[in-house]
Structure 1
Amino acid sequence: MKFRGWLLDVDYIVEKDKPIIRMWCIDDAGRSSVIFDYRFEPYFYVVPYGDVKKSTIENLTAEVGGETIKPVRVEQVDKKNFGQHIKCFKIYTQLPRDVPHLRELAVRYGDVREADILFGVRYIIDKRLTPMGGIEAEGDHVPVEYADVGLLCHDPKGFMREDEVKPKIMAFDCEMANPKGMPTPKNDPIIIISIKTDKEVKLLKSEDGDDKKILEEFLALIKKYDPDIIVGYNQDSFDWPYINARLKHHKMKLDICRDGTTPLFGKGGIQKKVKMTGRMNVDLYQVAARDVDGVKIKTLDNVAEYLGVMKKDERVNIPGSEIYEYWHDESRREDLLQYSIDDVVSTYGLAKELLPLQYEFARMVHEPLDNVSKMGRGRQVEAYLAYIAYENDELIPSKGGEMETYVGGLVFPPEKGLHRNVAALDFSAMYPSIMVAYNISPDTVCSKTDKDCYPPAPEVGYRFKKSPEGFFTKILKDLIQHRSALKKKLAVTKKSDRDYKILDMRQKCIKILTNAFYGYTGWAQAKWYRRECAEATSAWGRYFIQKANDIAVEMGLRVLYGDTDSLFVKLESGKDLQEVIKAFIKRVSDELPLEMDIDNIYRVIFFTESKKRYAGLTESGEIVVRGLEVRRGDWCELAKELQSEVIRIILEEENPEKAVKFVKDIISKVKEGKAPLDKLVINKTLTKSFGKYESAQAHVHAAEIARELDISAEIGNKISYVIIKGSGNLSDRAYPVEMFQRFEKGNLYAKGRVYEIDSNYYIDKQLIPVALRMLGYFGYAEEELKGESIQGTLDKFF
């Protein structure tokens, strides 16, 4: 029997005291498939200390639960350690679970390597397979209850596919009863589960307040549709644990894995991880938090609007604290149902936009989709390095080093104020290009006696071998070429086209991943930690940005701001800016081993006194904001909206007087209690337990009150709070917004008690500071924003 399809995941089962690999796949007809291989053995390596005999390793024995565990066999093999040939022992075990027990014994005799690689990932690496990539196999058909196709094969082949995988995707979203604000699974049932597939949108409603029936329906729908990928938004930290707890309440099981088992719930950390056998569980919130850099507050509706999935003004929006009220009000229940539909349609739409990039990451780093979607950049780099290390016979190092600081990129302080006709230029993949140019890799670091090396890095003096090519270098070349191809596609794609944002996000993410190789070498937790690589790369970076600055000045360009790999320049003379910039870029590329591109041309740009904080109006009419409060999450929505409009008025209309009038109008609304409550809410994530905060913080105090009111406030939760009038420190006056039943004319009502919004706090500490970020440059002061304005024009500020 021949098989051809797509690989999703690899795991294993144990039968007759033997591990059996399972490759979860989709065949070319879209059918769920499992390929079995019972010949693959678990193993790890030991680099011996001194003259350790093979027989010593063969005689390792552990007693576990009345069972004797020992190596199946031991081989002496040749490998490379940071490019140097060494001999080590390869220890095979009976079962994957035997590895940690023998590892603890083996550490007495040598440096243990690769004992922490999951058995399924080990198989992917050794068999050169690619998750979300093509797979071919030939073998015997075997019956299997939990898949359409079963095959026994010991030699599957991975291959490149030009067509795109089309898995079955199911999105879901839950609404819970929340009479006390944040729902708790112990007391509050699930009232709505919305589901979206390529075939339908379905609403499951709990009519009598008992969620057992809709939970049964939900499980049945998953088994019937049999999705390859299940997506939600923050479902790993909220929905799945909540559903699981409610099922336990009803003495039921979450048996939704493809083989009928229940998911594995990861413990610890801010973001939880839920692993399903045979299905990919992808939390789109975790994906957006890492990959969508155009949105600071990563709510579902914010991200959906940014990616063009659904506009906020085209969907039903209901404050989370009012869901319970809508559910019990027949006149408003339909709005709640539509709200739930809009949520799941948005989630499904996000999957369509975000998953293609995750497929690419899975192929790139050779990790299953659900794993790679939850990985940080460093771990993604490490996964890919593990895959490349195998084909180079390079042992994966056992651990990182001690954390040491080193000097980063060079910064030219920004010239505060407004500037016209400014070009933003950046080096294309500066750090990766430097690493490639000087063969900077953990396995190419030169010793004092090495001869054939590149020149020493400026300031730090580290040198790197000219040959052989380092394995970091090989990887980076491929990534740089990949990004270059994507940027060429972007160049011929209109910004209004649907594909533009995805292409742009993809090339940016690849840029981030590629740049992460430099930072990875200086990350103490990295297995390939090599401080010399990080220090040398940043030293060359500082050298080249200074050289570029010198060339710019020599050509009559004025450098307004520079940071690590970018320069903002304007022309001092009356020459044509575009022509001078082209000549500058050519000269930089001729004289330095780097390429420089035009990132943007700004008609008007405003720099603050701080690095990475500016706002500009491009030639195409787009407003670009970096680092200002409008992009940060610890300011209320009203402050961000105010700053956005001030920026727009200044850059587009060049009318500071109008901007001041707008600010005064907003301040008046706050004084009169006319600002909507949701615009005054501040959101901040609780990142550690209460006792570990060294100083009093507003969101921590709000979280403590929430706990007292039986409102969920766990590590990882976003705490939504407002500041009320009263005595004491600011932190003492922060209250969770969920505790209030209604808001009228600046007053908050909660269980018979009335609180007053601290309008002075919002004016003095939220609105005035963000307004003055720009208006202060034109001579306006806090008093003038609260009282009479003075006439002002922009002419004298350029």
Structure 2
Amino acid sequence: MSGAGKRMASGPPGPSPPLTKRGPANEAFDDLIDEDDMFNDDDMPEEYMPDAEEGSLAGAEPDLCEAGRNWLRPPVNNLQPGCDALVFQQLEVDYTVGRPRTDVWPTQAKQVPVVRMYGVNDAGNSVCVFVHGFEPYFFCECPSHWVPEHYEELLQALRTHPRLMEGRGKGGLGVPPVTRVEAVQRADLWTYQGGRQKTYLRITVAMPNLVPAAKGALEDGSLRIGGDPQGLRLQTFEANVIYALRFMVDTGMGGGSWVELPAGSWRRVPQDQAATYCQIEAHVKWDRIIVHPAEGEWSRIAPLRILSVDIECAGRKGHFPEASLDPVIQIASLVTALGQDKPLVRNILTLGTCAAIPGAEVMSFDNERDLLRRWTALVLETDPDVII
């Protein structure tokens, strides 16, 4: 499972409660939550702001002493956005929806999609980059007799179509649901074209969820253009390409690509305002990103942290363990960093007493609750990139 410890959790994009930050290994941490969100700032909207939650894990962590000394990642160098480039290997890409960062991408929209890239840099620091300004779009056929006046008429018809009006949501978008209709030259890949291109229409919408709505409006014959009583039906193309994948395609990004944010192009988020467990958070406009092809020095792999886990339960004979009946009695965790010979962490959490194990941290607990809380702390503090 990639991106473990970076994001708050996988799930539908949208505003959600933020996550408390990772602290030192011997410091109690608070408030575990389930979902991802944007970072907060003095000028950020309310849905980005952290809210205190009930239930602290204080008291669940014993004094670690020697145990836990290798749990945290290396400290972050003093990166200066105005002078330094941010370079990292991307491990996961998704998106969320929230209020815009107008200092990164000026817009009148109330809600915008924001791409998130998670990764690791050469120093072993975890990175999360919020990418702004990439607009969802797809293509449709363009009738051969159409002129630019038809494009504008189609734009207005889509903006007022019931499918698109419904897709805006109750609060509205602040901008029209369909922002542009443009003529572009593309080649049809279905049959041999001999290199010939023809005109298609590129339909740009305000939110990813409006792509299927606009596709349906174009294909169901409900649009009326030029007084045509029959209704307009246009074949659509690439409307099923999901938003995050479209971003990767347009930027030339593959899985595991090295990504560079040039000096002066990005804004760093102060650590006390971070929205994820990543050590470095940044905001950037999508067309400032440089994606390096996996060649030469860019074919290397960052020092990823890999957490291997083995869980033992007090199972009943002939029954598969159930959480409500069969307690966890032991969790063994091994954390390694790619490129290093020796593991960073060898840890055993046990229910009840256990003899010392050479070369391993052994932590004993009187109840399952404290054992599971301590393992949660281990995962959050070691901040693995991959869990196996």
TM-score by length of 1: 0.27
Mark the CA change 1:48 to 1:226 in structure 2 (over 3 Å): closer, same or farther.
same
Mark the CA change 1:188 to 1:135 in structure 2 (over 3 Å): closer, same or farther.
same
- Is residue 129 from structure 1 mapped to residue 253 from structure 2 by the alignment? yes
How far apart in 2 are the matches of 1:191 and 1:51? 73
How far apart in 2 are the matches of 1:229 and 1:176? 23
CA contact (8 A) 2:186 2:198 kept: yes
How far apart in 1 are the matches of 2:314 and 2:212? 44
Mark the CA change 1:190 to 1:112 in structure 2 (over 3 Å): closer, same or farther.
farther
Structure 1 or 2: more helix by fraction = 1
* C-alpha distance after superposition, 1:381-408 (max 9, x if no partner): xxxxxxxxxxxxxxxxxxxxxxxxxxxx
CA contact (8 A) 2:309 2:333 kept: yes
Shift of 1:67: 5.9
How far apart in 1 are the matches of 2:304 and 2:373? 25
SS at match of 2:374: helix
CA contact (8 A) 1:189 1:210 kept: no
Q: Indicate the larger mover: 123-132 or 53-62.
A: 53-62
Please name the residue that 1:151 is paired with: 282
Shift of 1:107: 2.2
CA contact (8 A) 1:189 1:209 kept: no
Q: 1:223 is matched by which residue type in structure 2?
A: L
Please name the residue that 2:237 is paired with: 113
Please name the residue that 1:225 is paired with: 382
* C-alpha distance after superposition, 1:447-491 (max 9, x if no partner): xxxxxxxxxxxxxxxxxxxxxxxxxxxxxxxxxxxxxxxxxxxxx
Mark the CA change 1:70 to 1:183 in structure 2 (over 3 Å): closer, same or farther.
same
- Is residue 70 from structure 1 mapped to residue 177 from structure 2 by the alignment? yes
Please name the residue that 2:314 is paired with: 177
Mark the CA change 1:14 to 1:186 in structure 2 (over 3 Å): closer, same or farther.
same
Q: Which runs of 5+ in 1 are unaligned?
A: 232-798
Please name the residue that 2:187 is paired with: 80
How far apart in 2 are the matches of 1:189 and 1:209? 12
* C-alpha distance after superposition, 1:198-250 (max 9, x if no partner): 2122222234895322221121111100111222xxxxxxxxxxxxxxxxxxx
Please name the residue that 1:56 is paired with: 154
CA contact (8 A) 2:314 2:329 kept: yes
CA contact (8 A) 2:122 2:302 kept: no
How far apart in 1 are the matches of 2:241 and 2:125? 30
Q: Which runs of 5+ in 2 are unaligned?
A: 1-80, 100-110, 221-232, 337-343, 353-364
- Is residue 12 from structure 1 mapped to residue 95 from structure 2 by the alignment? yes
CA contact (8 A) 1:58 1:74 kept: no
How far apart in 2 are the matches of 1:150 and 1:90? 33
Please name the residue that 2:370 is paired with: 213
Of the three residues 338, 342, 347, the one matched with 1:202 is 347
SS at match of 1:59: helix
Shift of 1:30: 1.5
How far apart in 2 are the matches of 1:38 and 1:123? 11
SS at match of 2:178: coil
CA contact (8 A) 2:128 2:280 kept: yes
Please name the residue that 1:103 is paired with: 215
Q: 2:94 is matched by which residue type in structure 1?
A: D
Between 1 and 2, higher relative CO (CA 8 Å, sep ≥ 6) is seen in 2
How far apart in 1 are the matches of 2:313 and 2:218? 51
How far apart in 2 are the matches of 1:163 and 1:14? 33
CA contact (8 A) 1:192 1:205 kept: yes
Mark the CA change 1:112 to 1:188 in structure 2 (over 3 Å): closer, same or farther.
farther
Q: Percent identity?
A: 23
CA contact (8 A) 1:42 1:96 kept: yes
SS at match of 2:331: strand
1:43-442 equivalent positions in 2, closer than 5 A: 43-48=137-142, 53-54=150-151, 55-60=153-158, 61=161, 62=163, 63-64=166-167, 65-66=169-170, 70-82=177-189, 83-84=192-193, 85-108=197-220, 109-138=233-262, 139-143=265-269, 145=274, 146=276, 147-154=278-285, 155-159=288-292, 160=294, 161-179=298-316, 180-198=318-336, 199-207=344-352, 211-231=368-388
* C-alpha distance after superposition, 1:278-322 (max 9, x if no partner): xxxxxxxxxxxxxxxxxxxxxxxxxxxxxxxxxxxxxxxxxxxxx
Which protein is bigger by CA-based radius of gyration? 1
SS at match of 2:133: coil
Please name the residue that 2:128 is paired with: 34
CA contact (8 A) 1:132 1:165 kept: no
Mark the CA change 1:36 to 1:149 in structure 2 (over 3 Å): closer, same or farther.
same
1:723-734 equivalent positions in 2, closer than 5 A: none
Shift of 1:178: 2.4
CA contact (8 A) 2:138 2:203 kept: yes
Mark the CA change 1:182 to 1:106 in structure 2 (over 3 Å): closer, same or farther.
same
SS at match of 1:213: helix
Q: 2:350 is matched by which residue type in structure 1?
A: K
- In angstroms, what is the RMSD of aligned CA positions? 2.6
How far apart in 2 are the matches of 1:33 and 1:229? 14
SS at match of 1:56: helix
Mark the CA change 1:48 to 1:166 in structure 2 (over 3 Å): closer, same or farther.
same
Number of residue pairs matched by the alignment: 231
SS at match of 1:29: coil
Mark the CA change 1:39 to 1:191 in structure 2 (over 3 Å): closer, same or farther.
same
Q: 2:256 is matched by which residue type in structure 1?
A: M
Shift of 1:99: 1.9
Shift of 1:174: 2.1
Mark the CA change 1:114 to 1:190 in structure 2 (over 3 Å): closer, same or farther.
farther
Please name the residue that 1:556 is paired with: none
* C-alpha distance after superposition, 1:117-162 (max 9, x if no partner): 2222211110112332322112233215232223333321122314
CA contact (8 A) 1:70 1:102 kept: no
CA contact (8 A) 2:93 2:116 kept: yes
* C-alpha distance after superposition, 1:399-454 (max 9, x if no partner): xxxxxxxxxxxxxxxxxxxxxxxxxxxxxxxxxxxxxxxxxxxxxxxxxxxxxxxx
SS at match of 2:235: strand
